[in-house]
Structure formats: C-alpha cells, structure tokens
Structure 1
Amino acid sequence: MRRRLHLFLTAMLMAAIAGAVSGSSEEPEAVSDSGTGEFGASDLGKLARHWLGAFRQDHAGDAVSLRPTRSFASKAAFEEMQNAVIYVGYRLPPQAVDDFARRYGYKPTAIRVALDTVAIFVHRENPIRGMTLAQIGAVFSGESRCRGAQHAATWGALGLAGVWQARPLQVFAIGPADDLHDYFRQQVLCGGGLGEFVRMHPNSAAVARAVSESLNAIGFGRSVSTISSMKALSLAVDTNMPFVAPSERPVVDGAYPLTRFLHIYVQKRPDRPLTGRQADFVRFVLSPGGQAILGRNGFIPVSRDVARMEQSLIFADQP
C-alpha cells in the first residue's frame, strides 16, 4: 500500500513539474481585464492589457483605463476622457468627434503609437509565395469582387499546379469585432463583405492556429511568427508591382500594401501640453519599453522619427 501511494505521489509530482515546464513558454497576461474589459479577446485587447500591466509596474498609483475607439460615443465617454481614460484604435466615430468639438471647442488628440498590418497566412508546406490584392479578394469576398478576379475556390485558381491544383481552399479570418476585419473589407474588398464560407475567429493567434492545422488553409490576421507550421505571404497591389513581405522594415518604410497606424486618443487643449496620468502613459507607450511590447502582440513599432514627432507635438511646451 505504501509503495503504491509513493508511486502515485511521485507520478503526481512529475506531472505537476511537466505542466509547469510546458507552460513556461507561454507569455502570461500582464494584467487582468481591469481597465481594458471592453476590448474582449481581440489582439488590441491583449496589447492593451500588456501595456497597462507594464505601465502599472512603475506607476502603481496612477489609475489609467483604456477603451476601444468604437465606444467613444456619448457625453459620459467625453467626461471619462478627462479622468485618465484613453481611447485606443484607428479612428473615433466621426459624429462623436464633432459632438466633442462642439462641447469643448477642440477635437481629441490622436497620437500615432504603432503600425498595424494585414498578413495573409498559409500552411508552411504550401508552395505559394505571394498574392496580389485581386487574388486575395477572389478568395475572401462574397458576391462582389471589385478588383475583377473570379472567385477562387481551389489553389489551382491561384496558380498552383500538380497535387495542389484541385485542393479546395479553407478560408479563415478575424471576425467583425476586431477593427482589422473592417479595414480588410475596405482595402481589399472595396467595402464589400466576406463570403459566408469564411470561418471567423476572435484574434490573429486563433486564425494562425487554424491555418497551421490544414494544408488547404488560408487566413488573414496580424503578423504572428510563433507558429512554425504556417507562414505569411508577400503581397503586391497588382501584377505590375513588386511583392513585399510583411516584415518590419518594409512596413515602417510604407512599402507593404496593407499597413496603417494605430492611435491612442487623449483630451488635450491645442494650446497646452499634455499633463498628468495621460501624459505618463503616452510617454511610456512611445518609450523603447512600450514599443517593445508591440511585437509580441502582432503590431510593429513606429519609427524613431515618428515617435520623436509625436512626443514633440504632445510635450513641446513643457519645461
């Protein structure tokens, strides 16, 4: 009996150690949903949680909350912005911005803090090397194909031959809760919708995992490089343009075709520098430490010139 008990306890201990070791490669969430809950499971939510977690390590007494730009749509939101609430995203709702300007006499200040890209994922064993925007539209679109390409249902329709020619496409995408979904629709599908056959996922990591599990898969999301069995393709605007990889230098230089800035929005009078907790957070986000967090979450740091420009616009009048 004692021997069996000893073996059981030993096995349990070894399992616990194995679990700890296997989990050690996973990056823990830096902070709970406190101050970021409205983002949900999106890539932007993960970035917001990591930013706040790192910021609070050095600013324990500074209560800063982050909100997605889509929630900036009421007088309550305007008042929250005065109390260290910062909005993160791509653009604020235009009507809400106009309402804010009528109330305060100026608009919220947008600060460029990151670069965001649409990456097209395929399985690493897939021989395709790049795609044009027309080809991407042919894969993901519903009824309307604004760039003229016919619907692509097989890899042969994208130029692959041999055993790949008849393989059906399995198509994955980030869902509409993430702003990247709408950006993809506007830039690639000319505002049209994705086909009903496209399987939606809440974030880029989920899309990448789905793609990595099937030779026939293709999906779009933000650049993630932690899954060895999938790859991101080089893209070209059309067949007359060069194919460009979604790596940091082409993105920063503006050569990669599906790139935009991520902004944070604060309340700042045009004639005064930003101060207080919002200023502390902006400094952190534009610092090397804040920018380093971007890459781990699928975003790309802004150039040093952009970071200096944003800092000078926000803090130039401070002593």
Structure 2
Amino acid sequence: MRKPLALSLTASALAFSASMAHAADSVDPNLPEYEAVSGVSGNLTSIGSDTLNNLMTLWSEGFRSFYPNVAIQIQGAGSGTAPPALVEGTAQFGPMSRPMRGTEIEEFEANYGYEPLPMRGAIDAIGVFVHRDNPVTCVSMQEIDAIFSSTRAGGADAAITTWGELGAEGEWADRAIATYGRNSASGTYGYFREVALFGGDYSADVREQPGSSTVIQGVASDLGGIGYSGVGYGTADVRALDIRGDDGTCYTTDDAPEGTYPIARFLYVYMNVDPNAELEPLRAE
C-alpha cells in the first residue's frame, strides 16, 4: 500500500523532534510511534539551502538511527542550487529557504510532466546579529533598511553608517557600521531584500558571504559588524537584535511562531514525487 505523502521523512522528523527538549509540548501526543521497516538501504542526496543545512543534518542523523545502512550526503550551497539538482536527478531532496519561482517549477515540469512536491519543514526567523559587546539592543525595520540598502525604500531620510545614530554612546558613538550578508545564490538574500529592504537594493558596501556561518564569523570578528542569518546559526560571540514593531514593542526571534517578529518565513523541502507512481521504499520511509 502506498504511504500518504505527508508521512514522508516521518522517521527522521520524529527522531529530530525527540532530540529537541523544548519541542516536546508541540508534538502531537496522538502521533503513533514510528516503527522501522526491514530492508531499507541505499543513498540519498540533499542539495540546496545553506540555511537548512543544520536541520537537514539533524534529520539525516535521526533517519540513520533507524536505518544505518542508508548513506546521506548533504550539500548546502544555496537555495538556487536545489531546482537544477532536482531537474538533473542529482538530488532526491531540494531544501529551500524560499518557495520555488515559477520559472523553476516550469523547468521541472517540462522534464517530468508534473510539478515538484513542496513540504514546509520549519519556520525560520532571520536574526539581525551584532557583536556581543555592542550596546544597541533594538532597531526598527526602517533602520535596518537604512543600514543595509542603497535605496532606503522604507522611508529613511539618509543612510545609517555609525552606531551612534542608533543610540550608542561613548566609544561606540562614532564607530562605523560594517554590514555582512549572503550572496545572491541564497534564498535568504532575496527574502531579506524583499522584507527588510522593502524590495529595495542592497548597498554596495555589504560584504557578501557564501554561507550563514561565515556571516556570523564576520560579525563576531568585527566590533562594528552587523549581519543577517538564520537564527539557528547564532553563537556566543554575537547577539540578535530585537526588532521594534509599529506598536513600539521590541520583538525577539522567539516571537516568530506568533507572527509578531517581522523577519520570519517558512522553509521548504522539495522532492521529485510522481503522483501516479509508488515511492520506492527508501524515499517512502
């Protein structure tokens, strides 16, 4: 009997949930305990989002705790690498931090006769990180735009270039702001531009990085640094700024599930699943 598509990755999802103590209250108590099946082995490849790299790794480790004879390779070079990998058949999973574009779906459908299957895997808050010693704690969306963009579509009169303009005092007042961000292959790059830059353009001064970890490393090594990244990549050397809402409240990344933290989005895993065919045992599990 063919398994419902919604149950794909059940083993790995359950194993990951079990490893997250804080997630215990959010797991449906009526969810049946997963039972491994015999004879599952082979190779799986995931190519896509750097933001999802850690989560895909945790899921794969959970899956392999049930099926140690499965080898899983994970490559996180950016969301833009997922669609061609699925089209070319070099990956079974295409994690993306943004929805596929219409042109990407059309290319896939032209090859296979059906659309790729999207699954929402998580809600991700984009943290705006500063050095741990930075005294600034909360900024508005308009201020973020004035820091990172050249167009200031959010309505700011001028670019913000020093920490004193955000309320820092003393030796921090004249300290120059150094911006770090992702490159254009990243779904996070496009999402941050649309939401935090109000659809405007990045400043040429933003230091583009190939991955989330390198954004964090840049900020951690630069007292004046500020950069955006999936919140899961934060370390003890950096701190995520709160973001001031229209009501004047400073919201944290923990508020993302309630919808009050303004820079948060769904993360997706795309798959090549023929709606008229049985899933092979490996991918079905």
Give the TM-score of the pair, scaled to structure 2. 0.70
For residues 188 and 108 of structure 1, what CA distance do their matches in structure 2 show? 29
TM superposition shift of 1:136: 0.4
- Does structure 1 conserve the Cα–Cα contact (< 8 Å) formed by 2:95 and 2:268? yes
| Alignment partner, residue 45 of structure 2 | 35
- Does structure 2 conserve the Cα–Cα contact (< 8 Å) formed by 1:65 and 1:86? no
SS of equivalent to 2:251? coil
TM superposition shift of 1:121: 0.9
What is the total number of aligned residue pairs between the two structures?
A: 239
| Alignment partner, residue 87 of structure 1 | 94
Structure 1 stretch displaced more, 180-189 or 262-271: 262-271
Task: Return the match for 1:258 from 255, 259, 263.
Answer: 263
TM superposition shift of 1:72: 5.5
**Aligned counterparts, 1:237-276, within 5 A:** 237-238=245-246, 240-247=247-254, 250-268=255-273, 276=281
| Alignment partner, residue 202 of structure 2 | 194
- Does structure 2 conserve the Cα–Cα contact (< 8 Å) formed by 1:100 and 1:107? yes
- Does structure 2 conserve the Cα–Cα contact (< 8 Å) formed by 1:72 and 1:92? no
TM superposition shift of 1:266: 2.4
Deviations 1:103-139 (A, max 9, x none): 6664322111111221011122222111111100111
Q: 1:35 to 1:183 in 2, by over 3 A?
A: same
- Does structure 1 conserve the Cα–Cα contact (< 8 Å) formed by 2:122 and 2:266? yes
Letter in 1 for 2:94: Y
Structure 1 stretch displaced more, 174-183 or 115-124: 174-183
Q: Give the unaligned 5+ runs of structure 1.
A: 1-33, 281-319
For residues 126 and 222 of structure 1, what CA distance do their matches in structure 2 show? 20
SS of equivalent to 1:195? coil
- Does structure 1 conserve the Cα–Cα contact (< 8 Å) formed by 2:117 and 2:273? yes
Q: 1:94 to 1:64 in 2, by over 3 A?
A: farther
| Alignment partner, residue 278 of structure 1 | 283
- Does structure 1 conserve the Cα–Cα contact (< 8 Å) formed by 2:87 and 2:111? no
More helix by share: 1
Letter in 2 for 1:179: G
| Alignment partner, residue 13 of structure 2 | none
Give the TM-score of the pair, scaled to structure 1. 0.63
Aligned-residue identity in percent: 28
Q: 1:79 to 1:64 in 2, by over 3 A?
A: farther
**Aligned counterparts, 1:154-193, within 5 A:** 154-193=162-201
**Aligned counterparts, 1:35-114, within 5 A:** 35-36=45-46, 38-39=47-48, 42-62=50-70, 70-71=80-81, 77-78=86-87, 80=89, 85-89=92-96, 90-101=98-109, 106-114=114-122
For residues 261 and 131 of structure 2, what CA distance do their matches in structure 1 show? 21
SS of equivalent to 1:235? strand
For residues 64 and 252 of structure 1, what CA distance do their matches in structure 2 show? 30
For residues 206 and 104 of structure 1, what CA distance do their matches in structure 2 show? 36
Q: 1:185 to 1:112 in 2, by over 3 A?
A: same
2:133 corresponds to 1:125: yes
For residues 103 and 185 of structure 2, what CA distance do their matches in structure 1 show? 20
- Does structure 2 conserve the Cα–Cα contact (< 8 Å) formed by 1:170 and 1:217? yes
Deviations 1:47-83 (A, max 9, x none): 4344334423422445666676534556x844739xx
How much is the aligned-residue C-alpha RMSD, in angstroms?
A: 3.3
Q: Give the unaligned 5+ runs of structure 2.
A: 1-43
For residues 229 and 212 of structure 1, what CA distance do their matches in structure 2 show? 5
Q: 1:119 to 1:72 in 2, by over 3 A?
A: closer
Q: 1:225 to 1:109 in 2, by over 3 A?
A: closer
Letter in 1 for 2:216: A
More strand by share: 2
TM superposition shift of 1:158: 1.8
Letter in 1 for 2:89: E
> Which structure is larger by alpha-carbon Rg, 1 or 2?
1
Letter in 2 for 1:80: G
SS of equivalent to 1:35? strand
TM superposition shift of 1:169: 0.9
Q: 1:104 to 1:45 in 2, by over 3 A?
A: same
Letter in 1 for 2:80: R
